[in-house]
């Protein structure tokens, strides 16, 4: 009972802290935090598959870009309003995730990783091929006049921050709930020993498919939210880099923890932001920091806190 109250207090405290930060930080940091919260949803989606189910994917840029282009094309070319376009983005991402899950989950281990990478690269090349509609590497801007919801201008920095917070809070609470259900517990069992989970009567294939579907849709939510709040969709977000980044964020923050994706995303974002002010070789600083964390915090920042201080940490 005490552990449950600690978990509830932690989740409430994180959300309250993000609200408070809006009022005590500068406009520059508010803009950064809005971007971090949207990208943290991407990391949470990845963590659901990798951290809780144990499936290492290198193709999540496909799901992120599916949500981004699902919303972007719906608004830019089909002239749909925000809510219908967001629904189209989620439906399109769900279809892509289901198709990839049906095909990629026929493989395991390294083969699964390679297959997801191949699908992501195919998605990237498809975006370039249909450059007439996607504008390829150049991308396209979603006009300010189109980015309104219930009469609210989503380009306004304050409204954008609270919209990013709402998106993050809904995804964060969903993950916090899902991993504590019997379904979430089964995913952890699959991660630890799939053969034993199957022997106990669990349909591991079905659970992995649903985990990939949920992971893909969450990543698509992040992509759609990014396009909506920051007004841009481009092929860069479908590149291999955006399949590696959520893995990096999850590893830095702590895989298999609800808080890890947010910590990892914020840490990586500000590490680049701060180091780039002092040197053009900021990637060297980032690489050194990653090596240091890998050596001395192998379970990530939140993972090490759970191992050393708070074993109840979800």
The radius of gyration computed from the CA coordinates of the chain, to the nearest angstrom, equals 19
Distance, C-alpha 211 to centroid of its chain: 14
| Tokens, residue 146 | 């189109």
pLDDT at 260 over 70: yes
CA-nearest of 176, 174, 177, 161 to 36 is 161
The 10s digit of each residue's pLDDT in 50-74 is 999 999 999 999 999 999 999 989 9
Q: Which H or E run contains 232?
A: strand 232-233
pLDDT at 219 over 90: yes
What is the mean predicted confidence (pLDDT) over 117-142? 88
Question: What pLDDT was estimated at residue 119?
Answer: 93
What is the mean predicted confidence (pLDDT) over 291-298? 84
pLDDT at 109 over 60: yes
pTM confidence score: 0.94
- Report the C-alpha gap between 20 and 18 in whole angstroms: 5
pLDDT at 166 over 60: yes
| Tokens, residue 223 | 């992509």
Q: Which residues pair with 141 in a beta bridge?
A: 232
Nearest 5°: the CA angle 40, 46, 47 is 85
Question: What pLDDT was estimated at residue 145?
Answer: 80
| Tokens, residue 282 | 């900021």
- Report the C-alpha gap between 49 and 199 in whole angstroms: 21
Distances (CA, A) of 91 to 58, 100, 274: 22, 14, 38
SS3 299: coil
The 10s digit of each residue's pLDDT in 184-196 is 999 999 999 988 9
CB 293 within 8 A of CB 299: no
CB 33 within 8 A of CB 162: no
Domain coordinates of the chain in residue numbers? Answer: 2-238
**Percentage with pLDDT > 90 across the chain:** 54
Which DSSP state fits 107? S
């Amino acid at each position: 009972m005490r552990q449950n109250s600690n978990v509830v207090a932690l989740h409430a405290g994180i959300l309250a802290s993000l609200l408070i930060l809006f009022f005590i930080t500068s406009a520059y940091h508010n803009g950064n935090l809005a971007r971090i919260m949207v990208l943290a949803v991407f990391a949470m989606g990845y963590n659901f598959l990798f951290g809780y189910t144990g499936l290492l994917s290198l193709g999540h840029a496909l799901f992120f870009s599916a949500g981004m282009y699902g919303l972007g094309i719906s608004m830019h070319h089909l002239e749909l309003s925000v809510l219908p376009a967001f629904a189209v983005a989620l439906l399109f991402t769900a279809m892509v995730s289901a198709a990839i899950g049906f095909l990629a989950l026929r493989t395991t281990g390294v083969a699964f990783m390679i297959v997801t990478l191949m699908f992501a690269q195919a998605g990237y090349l498809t975006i370039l091929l249909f450059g007439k509609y996607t504008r390829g590497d150049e991308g396209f801007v979603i006009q300010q006049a189109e980015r309104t919801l219930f009469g609210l201008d989503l380009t306004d920095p304050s409204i954008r921050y609270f919209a990013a917070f709402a998106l993050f809070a809904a995804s964060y609470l969903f993950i916090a709930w899902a991993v504590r259900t019997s379904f979430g517990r089964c995913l952890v069992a699959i991660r630890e020993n799939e053969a034993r989970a199957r022997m106990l009567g669990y349909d591991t294939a079905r659970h992995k498919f649903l985990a990939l579907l949920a992971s893909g849709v969450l990543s698509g939510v992040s992509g759609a939210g990014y396009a909506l709040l920051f007004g841009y969709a481009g092929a860069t977000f479908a590149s291999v880099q955006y399949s590696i980044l959520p893995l990096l964020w999850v590893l830095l923050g702590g895989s298999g923890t609800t808080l890890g994706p947010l910590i990892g995303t914020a840490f990586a974002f500000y590490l680049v932001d701060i180091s780039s002010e002092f040197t053009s070789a900021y990637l060297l600083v980032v690489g050194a920091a990653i090596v240091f964390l890998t050596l001395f915090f192998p379970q990530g920042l939140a993972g090490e806190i759970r191992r050393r201080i708070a074993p109840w940490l979800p």
